[in-house]
Structure 1
Amino acid sequence: MFRFSKKKLNRAIHYLELGVLGLFLIYFFKGSSDSKTDYLKLDVTKSSRTIKPLTKNNSPTFSWTKCQQNISAANITGFSSLPERVQDFLYYRHCRHFPMLLDLPDKCGGPEKSADVFLLLVIKSSPVNYDRREVLRKTWAKERLENGVWIRRLFISGTMDSGYDKERLNKLLELEQREYNDILQWDFNDSFYNLTLKQILFLEWMERNCPKAHFLLNGDDDVFANTDNMVLYLQNLKDNDGSKHLFSGHLIKNVGPIRSPRSKYFIPVQVHESDIYPPYCGGGGFLLSGYTALLIYNMSQSITILPIDDVYMGMCLAKAGLGPVSHITVKTAGLHIPFNKVDRFDPCYYKDVLLVHRFLPAHMYVMWHRIRDPNLKCSI
């Protein structure tokens, strides 16, 4: 049997008391921490948004709780007969917030200095379109000081595929980002039916990071844009600081939804009941002021998403009591070339336009250099 002296016994009791006190303190602070965490969780539930740690640019980025499928969409009349792509759209139509995989909060120099950006090129690009992005960086989308004002470039993208294929494409964009700093990417499926979502996510980013950019070119990555001409056109406007309404492109009006399920542009009544669309500009490319871009974002908060992004822009303008206008040299339906002309890529047909849809990367590269050739002579 072990024997303890009175001195050793007192020391043991003292250590035991310290241990109990330590356990109490641990429990107390853990409880406080849990209470604080619960409080934050309640806030997140209300706003669906949390703030991540500051990035290397010392700018806060945001994450959103994962959007859940709206299973009640299956109760819509005729839902079961709709194509799978339309069903998926209806299940997730309400989702507007997705994690950012690639961000550039300082692209425009910060919210206040974004006024230094005269023309912001916002180019919709799927992750796989590496060759298109590379050509644009070397041609009309090159960031530069043009006629005394700055042109900046952004590609906006989602994700594609799954598993290893998705990882490889994400890695591709990450590597491009390291070299060029010109990509915004969100973790949503980059598909035709999500083009409107892509636009809304960009406009939200713009409101936060680049609200004072004067003008924007919003377009696809397969358009040929004469950005030299665009700068001159915008500088010659009466209101050339982007503070007034401007939305200009290839005007489309007096048309409505295509109801044929075989069409890429199929919009059933379950998605859009009206048989008429408001006036809009073809989504291949259009020019708009910074004022109008932010106005569209504001209007979008109360307008249900429609898959076709150019029509949706028209809906937002209509809600604001505004509309798009036609510009004769924006050709999103292609440029008409006389049939007896042998070379439909004769640069003389393109040197005075603002935008033409669509071009292959190789043709884009050649055309850009040909129209800027000081020795180009045209008789047409």
Structure 2
Amino acid sequence: MKTVLQSTRIWALLTSFILFAAYTLLWNISSEKVAAPHSDPKKKYSWHITAAEYHLDFIINPTGKCADSDLFLVVMVTSRHAHFEARATIRETWGNATSIMGYKLTTLFVIGRTDDSNLQRKLVEESQTYGDLVQMDSYESYENLTLKTISALKWTSINCKQAKFVMKTDDDMFVNYPRLVRILAEYSQTAGQENLMLGCVVSWAFPERTPGKKWYMDPSIFPHWLYPSYCIGAGYVISSDVAHKLYMTSLKVPVVQIEDVYLGMCAEKAGIKPQNHPEFSCWKDTSYRYCKFKELVTAHGMKPRDLTKAWADLKTQDGRNCSPKDKLFEKVSSLFNAK
């Protein structure tokens, strides 16, 4: 009986050892696959490598959009290549302005690569018509949003060195240019035009450690228990010197798939402290109200028809003062009108 028990224990230990060895081998193989740079980094996103190893180039590279020597603000809107309607609406609404309060600005769209020849033909035609598309040589994906932002920083660092400020935003955003320019003009006069990273700042954010979750962060990629402070990626403004610093820092910091967290990591490494501003909305806010939007710089999750209405109202009602009573009335009305 004792011999049988000993034999059973030996077999159990041997089986456990074999299983552990197999698991370790498979884990190492999978880790090597993730860690190693791909032969074609344009096609598949890879962790553990820096932006320098992606060799970010441009398929469509517009000229003349930053020609003004006194350019104040460059706005880079990340967009998916098939979002023709969203880009058209922005061009017709908030992205249409080229000068506000005497300050010059320009708006461009950053898109990804596509193998669809018909879609690429349409993009080339759009670029020839408007001259505002920057197409990076990396494919569209959620993970590649980080690369898209780095590409935007690279493009502005090369082409818009004279600009005072750079904004990064998305194509489902409302941006109140008059309010934004006023804020940046005041900042220029009081604090200068350097070391600025302004937006909705997230602090004390913890990495998601549950595999399969959208914002899962592998401990081998980011081992720390707390993220550095970062601006919500849907809309923030940086001074031109910070745009260059962040791009240069990205060449040394391994890329992670969460774009705004990654920019926070680069900012921390570069010694830049993100500054919070209450008029940059932090989360989705699709319920349009004039008095609310009048006092916002950015608003999330806007469909093209919502952008059109918001922009038309802000233009026709420009100068209208909103009393606390007006704001309360609008808020109550929106609750009853919510679908």
Specify the TM-score bucket, using the shorter chain as the normaliser.
0.7 to 0.9
Describe the SS at the equivalent of 2:45. Answer: helix
Identity across the alignment (%): 27
What letter is aligned with 1:287? V
Instruction: Look up the match of 1:122.
Output: 76
Instruction: Please tell me whether residue 90 in structure 1 is matched to residue 42 in structure 2.
Output: no
Following superposition, the deviation at residue 132 of structure 1 comes to 0.6
Partner AA of 1:106 in structure 2: G
- Alignment deviations for residues 196-219 of structure 1 (CA, whole Å, 9 cap, x no partner): 111222222222211121112211
Q: Is 218-227 or 299-308 further displaced after alignment? A: 299-308
Q: Which residue of 2 aligns with 1:70?
A: none
Shift of 1:224: 0.8
CA contact (8 A) 1:332 1:358 kept: no
Residue number in structure 1 paired with 2:31: 76
Match of 1:210 among 150, 160, 175: 160
Distance 1:172 1:372 in 2: 32
Higher relative contact order (CA 8 A, sep 6+): 2
Structure 2's unaligned 5+ residue stretches are 1-27, 36-43, 328-339
Task: Assess, with a 3 A threshold, how the Cα gap between structure 1 residues 234 and 259 changes in structure 2: closer, same or farther.
Answer: same
Q: What is the TM-score with the length of structure 1 in the denominator?
A: 0.70
Within 5 A, what are the aligned runs for 1:137-156?
A: 137-156=91-110
1:163-213: per-residue Cα shift (whole Å, max 9, x none)? xxx212212211111111000002211111111111222222222211121
1:132 equivalent in structure 2: 86
For 2:226 and 2:102, locate their aligned partners in 1 and report how far apart those are by CA, in whole Å. 43
- Cα deviation, residue 78, structure 1: 9.9
Residue 253 of structure 2 corresponds to: 303
2:290 matched to 1:334? no
Shift of 1:372: 2.0
Q: Which of the numbers 174, 186, 193 marks the counterpart of 1:224?
A: 174
Number of corresponding residues: 287
Contact 2:208-2:217 at 8 Å conserved across structures: yes
State the partner residue of 1:57. Answer: none
Match status 1:361 vs 2:298: no
- C-alpha distance in 1 between matches for 2:214 and 2:134: 26
Aligned residues: CA RMSD? 2.5
What residue is the counterpart of 2:133 in the other structure? 183
Whether contact under 8 Å (2:197, 2:272) holds in the other structure is no
Structure 1 pair 78/120, CA: closer, same or farther in 2 (3 Å)?
closer
Contact 2:198–2:236 (8 Å) recurs in 1:
yes
Partners of 1:79 and 1:218 in 2: CA distance: 29
TM-score (norm 2): 0.78
Deviation at 1:92, TM superposition (A): 8.6
Pair 1:353–1:269, CA change in 2 (3 A): same
Deviation at 1:238, TM superposition (A): 4.4
Tell me what 1:23 maps to: none
Instruction: Say whether the 8 Å CA contact 1:193–1:307 is kept in structure 2.
Output: yes
Kept after mapping to 2: 8 A contact 1:222/1:358: yes
Greater gyration radius: 1
Runs (5+) with no aligned partner, structure 1: 1-72, 81-87, 337-343
Whole-angstrom distance in 2 between the partners of 1:242 and 1:293: 16
| Cα distance in 2, alignment partners of residues 368 and 241 from structure 1 | 30
